[in-house]
Structure 1
Amino acid sequence: MIKKILVTLLILILLTAIGIVSLIVFVDPNNYRGFISDTVKDKTGYELTIDGNLRWHIWPQISILTDSVKLSDIDAKKPILTADNMRLDVELFPLFSKKLEVKNVFIKSAIINITDDSKGQVYKHKAEQLPSTDESQTTQTKQQKDSSKWAFTLNKLEVSDSTIVLQNKDDFINFRNINLAIIQKADKKITIDVKGNIDRNQQNFSYVADADVDLTLFPEKAIIDLKKFDYTYKGIALPTKELKGNLKGVINYQHNSKQLTSKDLSFSVNENYFSGAFNANFDKKPYIDLTVTSNELNLTPFLEKDKKTNENITIQQTPPVVSNVTKVDNELNFLNSFNAKAKLDIKKLNINKMILNNIDVALTNNDGVATFQNISFDFAKGHIAATGMANGKHKYTQIKLIPKVTNIDLNTFFNQMETPNDLEGLFNASGDIEVNTLSGNKLLESLKGNLSINVTNAKLNKININNIIQNAATKYTKDISSTENMKNYTEFSKISTDAYLNKGNLELTTLNALSPTLEVIDGSGRVGMTQKDLDINMNIKILGGWNGKSNTIAKLQKLVIPLRIYGQFSKLHYQLDIGQVIKDLFNDKLQESLDKFRIKLENRNSKDDSKSKSKQKAVDMLENLLSK
């Protein structure tokens, strides 16, 4: 039995060897040169040029080897493809019947140019062709394809260590180290595996992709099932070391309507994961309908610069570059290039120590004007909502928002913003805001608008206004004594102000505040958002907390006392000029006593006129002295 098996194997080996020898002796691979070139031109319109002689390669696969090859469009300045060599893996026995069945095409070290110089008559002809949805024409096209079945079959195409040069207007993008494999799984269904990288200006983008493509109805329709798209991006301008993530989903392309739709789309950036869907139409002006959701988005790593990386960067001296590109003053000009509808839903957003929850954004873009139908999120134990617009049609950048802020806890807010502060309470505001830049470092300075602000259950720490005024008053009269209130803060049941934004400052036009023991009847000033300082002047009435004679307290409660609070948020100072106010108050009291004394003297009947005149002169002198 074993002997029979060995004999059978030996016979098979001999037949194979005889077949290979016969192939080399009787079949010249150069006979297929014209056939291969003619077939490529018939199917694509492009001209394939093969330099040198074709030759056989026996092991481990029967193959035809070529020297350099070129694929060119008619009348194009540069070829679309140039390669050092090409290998065609073929089936052995069909060759004796003059049939070329290619299992695999392998191209090494190719340079693929997709530029204006590589476009010729074939490209222009295809661009001028209009798609047709006529059923009879589609049937005719299918019949032509069926009638053009030929002996050349291809199961796999491989491109190794190659480069693609892609031109986008005047810009060139180089795709390097490309390794591509296209495998035919069934009739017009293929699998694509590709990896490579893009290097440009000390930036590197590397990728690995795997997809199944259904071309059954191509070119009218194509379905791409993207199984995997892993990427890594590194660059000197990145605040983080690298960006890496993946993308997967099903993409459906409709040629007649120029439409892309997605299904089961998911992607990630570092440790941030998203899901969503999009519907894009490119028929005339691009229209994009996008929905993105995420449970948590952490932007902190993208805001922290790698100090070590920055230290190792060598600044290179380069000559100045003169650009002939017209400067665009409107940073929103890109909105004119497409229309869109977008919805964003993020459950949690981390920006350093700042945490935003339940972010919901809905917007539309139509003819260069984006409308924010809704922007809302929870922040610092409160809620912020806004509507507005961004105009890309004007000469300059213009963004307008109508915000409504509800019950933001100031202590939580300043802690998350890592800003020292002495004011606590629940912050509420409404109004309108305008911004004329998208630059982060100029954003606060560019803010303009009007706001109506209310702070409830407020506490001004490190300053007790009642104690300051009452202790100052005790220096001018013994009718009152210092208060026993030793609290190191001032409480307000409500603070309200009208303000406008100007060059990074919140200018307060009116200021009113009320507490059980004091009232701010008028005030104005400035709060610096960029410098984190303030300078506010207030007129205050102390309503309670006085200790002393009731008639003196009654007068003190009517006093309007000027108070100035100024300095950095973390180190506030005050300025109080109570001396003149108290002096005027008690001068009025002495003046009343003097008036009574004058009346008493005038009513007294005196027989001695000279003595009466002397008393009157004394009274006048006393009055002049007290009035100084």
Structure 2
Amino acid sequence: MKKILYILLGLILLVVIGIGALVTFVNPNQFKPLLTEQVKKMTGRDLVINGDINWRFFPTLGLSVGETEFRNPKGFAEPNLVQFKQADLSVSVLPLLSQHLDIGEMRLDGAHVFVQTLANGHTNLDGLMAKKAEAETTTTENTITNHDQKALWKVSVAGIKLVNASADIRNDQTKMVAQLNHVNFTLDSFQPQTWTKATFNVQGNVNALTFSAQGSTDINLAADYKNVNLKALSATMSMTDGNIDIKNAALGLDQFTLGQWSNVTFSVDGKVPNLNFDTHGAVKVKLSTDHNVITVQGLKVTNDLVGKTLPRPTINLVVDADATYDISQKLTLVSQLTLNADGTMVSGSGSYLAADIPDIRFALSSDAINIDDWLPAKTVATNSNNNASAAAAMNTAVAKENNDTSAQEPDLSALKNINLAGMIAIKQLTVDNADVANVKVVTSVKQGVATINRFEANLYGGKVTGSAFVNVNSALPSYRLKNTISNVNVLPLLTAVANNKLLAGKANITTDLSGHGLSEANIRHNIAGSIKVNIADGAVYGINIPDLLRNAKAKLKDQTNTASDTTKKTDFSALTTTLKLNNGFAATDNFQLASPLVVITGKGRTSLVNEGIDLMVNSEIVASGKGLDKIKGIAVPIHVSGTWQQPKYNLNIKDLFKNNAELESKAKKEINRGLEKLFGDKAKDDNIKNAADKLLKGLFN
């Protein structure tokens, strides 16, 4: 027993003597030149150790390194890439004999990292990895290492602490400046195949955005240090920049292992200008064992939105999706996507290829969408006596706003930076109060040209087909629209869209229009092309042309037309015209309306800018009966004026008489007979006759 004690005392004495000799004869500061030389070799940068390197004896033998700086190349805003005030490292000696590197707690105080990207794209990280790889290659070539022996070494660290660290990250290209302050990180221990706890907290800002974050997780490092398992991850964050205010963002993860499903939960509660949101959701995520494919399954995100800018006071938006992301190909495949906004549902699939110009493919469908439900409500002006002045002021302000915005071009520059192709199918679509069924749209965007390759839909008993494109590669975007409307009931369509009940019939319309500029003002001024209209078996409401002619005939005879038809409409069998659009006007020279009683032809134009109408229509009675016998065959000119919403119809008596000598003669006789009844024998007086002649000339000339 005494011998054993003597042996132990001898070993302890030997260790003490060894440590004493180490401290006495080995000055760790003599390693400074060696360290700086090796760092220079590996990175091409300077390592400056301003503080001393000292021995540590408690709780284990180790080293303490004072203030140290790792330099940046010239041309960057700060001299150092990395710097720290104090670094402590301890190593157990005896385990080294059994090829076990047992490191005590590693502690780094006051570390600061500065990363900068210059305006030319160069960063202070450029070249580090290349130098490191070159140095490692040289070391490998010049060192004979037994791989099997190297594999026997085990490394363990009692703990890692990063205390009061900071970082500055600048990007001069994007004008982004990020600062991380009060960065603290603790790892209870660092030993492969052993679960250990990690915690962190950080504060900072990105430009005007300030944030703070904290969290914890359990970590298990693989034996080869290449993979890591996680469990019980929990993190929270808050941020604000004056406009964005995230009160609480939370992330939870039950576990993470390569090739296995992880259950993730998340929530964000905050607000942006005029919008409050509460978003929360859950998803299953899996990363493949080759670290290349991320699979997302059962993603469900619920968004509760409240704000004045929304078309409704509150909106509940739910997103469900399944997707995969191939990291090497930068390709996202969405196999299933469902959007539900307050009961309006859209489903589909798609893909996204990340590139300089992203490429998107999609197919979307919906049973029913009411666009009107998602547009701002139209304001109805009040014109009561009590607030007439306020209503007038409001109308003036609205008109001014409309004038200011009507010339503003929409910003479509994003079309230059995306490639897109897809299809949309909607069973029932409501837009501007019109009901459209079985909508199918095939569209694409490439090199700044957005194209509707095919559009088709059922519309009020008929069908609409067409195509269109918009090219945004010029100062003003150019466009072309071609479509065909077949057998569409006009009256319910006009009633729904414009509350206009002036026209009925079955419409067949062919449109070919083009122009440049997509603002309302530019469309009205610059649109050009043609619209061919053929409406069969219809009626024009608001005017009864045969009755108008009968009344005119009765007035000439100083009679009352007792057989007047009070129905204000003119039936027709066909209405045809070709509208030619150019220079802000739509004009026609071949307007024709044929009906059993009357044939109407006309020509004229309407302004697309102020919506004024200037149309001359000739009406000719072609049927007998109903008091029309005596005016059959007479072409009666009618002038249509006013506006689109309030057209006015006037019988042009001057042109009526000019074009019909017989009718003019009859009218003059009726006027002379009326003068004789009124003045008797004095009707032949020269003064009265002269006055009557002037009246007749004004009437017929």
Aligned with residue 177 of structure 1, among 233, 248, 252: 248
Aligned to 1:560: 635
Is the contact between residue 81 and residue 111 of structure 1 (CA under 8 Å) also seen in structure 2? yes
Q: Is contact 1:331-1:392 (8 Å) kept?
A: no
CA distance in 1, matches of 2:263, 2:515: 49
Partner of residue 333, structure 2: 261
Question: Does the 8 Å CA contact 2:450/2:469 hold for their aligned counterparts?
Answer: yes
User: In structure 1, what is the equivalent of residue 574 of structure 2?
Assistant: 494
Shift of 1:504: 7.1
**Do residues 102 (structure 1) and 181 (structure 2) align?**
no
Partner in structure 1 of residue 649 of structure 2: 574
Contact 1:504 1:528 in 2 (8 A): yes
Check 1:403–1:216 CA distance in 2 against 1; reply closer, same or farther (3 A cut): same
Correspondence 1:149-160 to 2 at 5 A: 154-160=230-236
Q: Check the 8 A contact 1:330/1:395 in 2, yes or no.
A: no
Per-residue deviation, 1:250: 1.5
Structure 1 CA distance for aligned equivalents of residues 411 and 528 of structure 2? 18
> Pick from 524, 528, 553: which aligns with 1:473?
553
2:619 equivalent among 522, 527, 540: 540
| Equivalent residue number for residue 428 of structure 2 | 348
- For 2:330, give the aligned amino acid: K
Q: Quote how far apart the aligned CAs of 1:479 are.
A: 13
Aligned residue for 1:249? Answer: 321
Deviation of 1:472 (Å): 1.7
Aligned pairs for 1:175-324 within 5 A: 177-184=248-255, 186-189=257-260, 190-197=262-269, 199-217=271-289, 219-305=291-377
Please list the CA deviations of residues 434-459 of structure 1 after superposition, one character each: whole Å capped at 9, or x if unmatched. 35455578766664431111111121
Task: Report the equivalent of 2:224.
Answer: 147
Identify the residue that residue 512 of structure 1 maps to in structure 2: 592
Q: Which runs of 5+ in 2 are unaligned?
A: 1-58, 61-87, 91-102, 110-124, 126-158, 211-220, 380-407, 669-692
AA matched with 1:219: H
1:204-244 superposed Cα distances (whole Å, 9 cap, x missing partner): 44421312211123532111224311123444433322443
Please say if residues 658 and 664 of structure 2, whose CA atoms lie closer than 8 Å, have aligned partners that are also in contact. no
Q: Secondary structure at the match of 2:501?
A: coil
8 Å Cα contact 2:322-2:336 kept in structure 1:
yes
Give the superposition deviation at 1:518: 1.3
How many angstroms apart in 2 are the aligned matches of 1:475 and 1:306? 46
Q: Equivalents in 2 of 1:574, 1:384: separation in Å? A: 32
Amino acid at match of 1:181: G
Q: CA deviation at 1:467?
A: 1.8
* Aligned-partner SS, 1:304: coil
Aligned partner of 1:429 in structure 2 is 509
3-state SS in 1 of match to 2:411: coil
CA-atom RMSD in angstroms: 4.9
Cα shift at 1:586: 4.7
Structure 2 counterpart of 1:386, from 445, 454, 466: 466
Residues 90-131 of structure 1: CA deviation (Å, up to 9, x unaligned): 7xxx99x9986225x4545x447678999xxxxxxxxxxxxx
Contact 2:178 2:207 survives alignment (8 Å):
no
Question: By how many angstroms is 1:260 displaced?
Answer: 0.7
1:330-349 aligned within 5 A = 331-349=411-429
Superposition deviation, residue 527 in structure 1: 4.9
The aligned counterpart of 1:600 is none
Identity of aligned residues (%): 18
SS at match of 2:492: helix
1:141 alignment counterpart: none
TM-score, normalised to structure 1, is 0.65
- Given residue 429 of structure 2, which amino acid in structure 1 is its aligned partner? L
AA partner of residue 537 (structure 1)? M
Give the Cα separation in 1 of the matches to 2:252 and 2:619: 81
Answer yes or no: is the 8 Å Cα contact 1:482–1:547 preserved in 2: no
The CA deviation at 1:384 is 1.8
Q: Describe the shift of the 1:215–1:414 C-alpha distance in structure 2 as closer, same or farther (beyond 3 A).
A: same
2:20 match: none
Contact 1:359 1:378 in 2 (8 A): yes
Residues 427/506 of structure 1: CA separation in 2 closer, same or farther (3 Å cut):
farther
In 1, the alpha carbon distance for the partners of 2:560 and 2:226 equals 112
1:525 aligned partner? 604
- Asked if the contact 2:230/2:257 (under 8 Å) is kept, the reply is no
Measured against aligned partners, the alpha-carbon deviations of 1:187-207 in whole angstroms (never above 9, x if no partner) come to 453322211145433444442
1:455 to 527, 532, 535: 535
- Cα distance between partner residues in 2 of 1:439 and 1:426: 32
Partner residue in 2 for 1:372: 452
* 3-state SS of 1:457 partner: strand
User: 2:365 is matched by which residue type in structure 1?
Assistant: T
Match of 2:320, as an amino acid? K
**Is the CA contact (8 Å cut-off) linking 2:192 and 2:223 kept in structure 1?**
no
SS in 2 for 1:580: helix
SS at match of 1:536: strand
Secondary structure (helix, strand or coil) at the match of 1:155 reads strand
Check the 8 A contact 1:114/1:164 in 2, yes or no: no
8 A Cα contact 1:505 1:526, kept in partner: yes
Provide the rounded CA distance (Å) in 1 between the counterparts of 2:268 and 2:344.
24
Aligned residues: 488
Q: Which has the higher contact order (CA 8 A, sep 6+)?
A: 1
Residue 101 of structure 1 aligns with an amino acid whose one-letter code is W
Deviation at 1:265, TM superposition (A): 1.7
TM-score by length of 2: 0.59
For residues 68 and 358 of structure 1, do their structure 2 counterparts lie closer, same or farther at Cα, with a shift above 3 Å needed? farther
Moved more, 69-78 or 370-379: 69-78
Cα deviation digits, residues 29-76 of structure 1 (max 9, x gap)? 9988855889xxxxxxx9xxxxxxxxxxxxxxxxx9989654759999
The change in CA–CA distance for 1:231 and 1:214 in structure 2 (over 3 A counts) is same
CA distance in structure 1 between the partners assigned to 2:414 and 2:503 by the alignment: 42
Q: Which amino acid aligns with 1:450?
A: S
Shift of 1:333: 2.4
Structure 2 counterpart of 1:148, which letter? Y
Asked whether the equivalents of residues 231 and 254 of structure 2 are also in contact (C-alpha less than 8 Å), the reply is yes
Structure 1 residues 71 and 248 mapped into 2: Cα distance closer, same or farther (>3 Å)?
A: farther
CA distance in 2, matches of 1:363, 1:549: 56
Partner AA of 2:616 in structure 1: N
Deviations 1:494-543 (A, max 9, x none): 111111345876433331111112112x3123456786764421122111
- 1:534/1:146 Cα in 2 relative to 1: closer, same or farther (>3 Å)? farther
Secondary structure of residue in 2 paired with 1:300: helix
List gaps (5 residues or longer) in structure 1: 1-25, 39-45, 47-63, 119-143, 166-170, 308-327, 592-623
Counterpart residue identity of residue 636, structure 2: I
1:454 and 1:407 map into 2 onto residues whose CA distance is 10
Could you say which residue in structure 2 is the equivalent of 1:417?
A: 497
Shifted more, 267-276 versus 228-237: the winner is: 228-237
| Farther off after superposition, 373-382 or 433-442 | 433-442
Could you tell me how far 1:181 is from its partner in structure 2? 1.5
Conservation of the 8 A alpha-carbon contact between 2:617 and 2:638 = yes
Q: Please give the alpha-carbon distance, in whole angstroms, between the structure 2 residues aligned to 1:242 and 1:530.
A: 38
Q: For residue 225 of structure 2, what is the amino acid of its counterpart?
A: S
Output the CA distance in 2 between the equivalents of 1:401 and 1:562: 35
